[in-house]
A and B are shown apart, each in its own frame.
Chain A
Amino acid sequence: MRAVLDISGLSIALPKGADRSHAVRNLSLTLQAGQITCLIGESGSGKSLAARAIMGLLPPRVQIDKGVLQFGAIDLAHATPAQMRGIRGAEIAMIFQEPMTALNPLHSIGRQIGEILRIHTKLSAKERRARVVELLDQVHLPEPTRLLNAYPHQLSGGQRQRAMIAMALALRPKLLIADEPTTALDVTTQAQILTLIHDLQRERGTAVLFITHDFGVVAEIADNVAVMQHGVLVEQGTRDAVLRNPQHPYTQALIEAVPKLDPPMRAPIPPIPLMLETHKLRKTYNARGLFGGSGTIALDGIDLALRRGETLGLVGESGSGKSTLARAITRLMPIDSGEILLSGHDISRLSRAQMRPLRKRIQMVFQDPFASLDPRQRVAEIIAEGPIIHGATPEAARDRACELLAMVGLDPSAADRYPHEFSGGQRQRIGIARALAMDPEILVADEPVSALDVSVQAQVLALLEDIKQRLRLSMIFVTHDLRVALQICDRIAVMRQGRVVEIGETAALHAAPQHPYTKALFAAVPGAQWAVHDGPKDV
């Protein structure tokens, strides 16, 4: 085995005033040719900065403090900018999380990939073109010759990521750095991209540094695993050793927090009474622009029923209409036709004023804990706002807000602080408290944990479950993550292209999915064959 990059004693200093002095402290790691090393950690662990240090692309005022990055004969930590330019793209390539922002929207795919060849090789225009077609073919993009002239926005997310991989591998680099390359993708697309990276890397003997926060992904493709916490490498080893027998308590906790792909036993929920029903719900987004063609059908005749006391999961990939459905049910988005029955009464045609008294009964928790709280309001004001709108006195509403803070596991002293002073998980708790302040009967949670780290995710899920039991709520839980859905939902509705393709009790759905799409979803869950807690079944 041959070391491609030998990192020893790497420390990266943060500017003064940051929450810690070093983003990465004393990191030593060796990347071998032909192997995938997964660098795993939660947000703020320093994993992405470590990768950017290798590329010489640290943000301004962040610097390598000490350490050696031995890449062949060159120490990347002390390479000149000219040396780095020669290495970047040619010998070390990088792929990013969001292929849409990493590609230039004004250049065609062919031109962007060709550009790398133009900078680093002496190929003629015709040879470059042939090479680009060959590369696009290798990453299994359909009709490579036609794609040469396509622009990034004309490709799907998965196709863009394939184009990025083609670009990264154009010059057969010795090292590929992949920074969460599949996090923004749907689970079925993610599975394809992981296979692609794995196959290409094996074929060419490329060393890969794969940065991720997802143990499922690690189980899927890693040869070696390195776990980072607060800038320190706490554990490293082969995949089997780390996943099966983690030594460090942090690694153990992280693995423990991964939701099991195995639903817990749940008492069945009686099919009546029904809290909420939808009948033939339809919604079409109009095409924009003067001559826009047909619109996008977001909801295509949805019939659903929410039983009292149950958690109904809406599972699907992006564009399946699950978030649209959540917003339609809460009347935050108008529908085209159909009915929404709240305890038997149609609310789909009520005016905003008529709807106002009913808002208390159905409340929403949003996905993005950073966007869903007004940055200019104090926490107590945020939570008390709903009751005040509905006639509570400010004093009573404030007292209630403090009670609710305690209920969602925050200190009452949080009441007088602003949202930016809290972490993502804490903000999500504030969002939950805001919804609970209305004493709702139904809670609609739209991807409430997908923006959170896995350990925080587990805590917020436990909180939702606990609150649901204590307050006897019914809940609609929207998620793209089957693992999460299996843990928290009584029933799951699988959505695709605006339709519910399958609905059933969680355990039954997991044991015997009927619809081919449901089967595909289960098959695509990363690390599906890896029952984390008792080792691999067949790896």
Chain B
Amino acid sequence: MLRMDMDDHAAIQAVLAGDKEAYAALVVRHSRRLYRVAFRITGNQADAEDVVQEALPRGYRKLESFESRSDFGTWIYRIAVRCALDRIGGSKVDESSRVAETTNREQNGVQVADREAGPERLLLSGEIRAMQQIAMHGLSPTERTAFMLRHLEDLTTEEIAAAMGIEPSAAKQSVFRAVQKLRLRLATLRVKI
């Protein structure tokens, strides 16, 4: 039977004392949040679930290095962000995937090519969010992650930097570049539509 009554600190102490089952309380308490941020970064449910399955055991193995004064939720969140970042950074863009992009100099913008779903169709079907998802694929993993943490998770620049393991200035620049690129691409798409 899972013991959900323990707070994070007590659960950690119990785990380190040899009670493996105490980690269940931490998993149940934090896995949804990890799933959410993983989904924001990876963009799909399967990858998000994989990230959760990877981040929680990693946190368990590193639990001895966890400082008891810190917040476990923030700590494991950062681990999940890095797992998600590794996942999107490590996987190469497939040429046959639904999105590929080239820069069209004449149009001075980004042209999104999608064999199965063109911009017109996306707009016509009212799938504006899908169009944004397409634009998101033009961002680097760092930019995408920084933007998602800023725009959707409402983290500050310092929190983004800590979660991603980068300098605050780099985090700020990543958000800035992401917004610039997204606006440019979305504007291009609007014109094309």
Q: Do A and B bind each other?
A: no
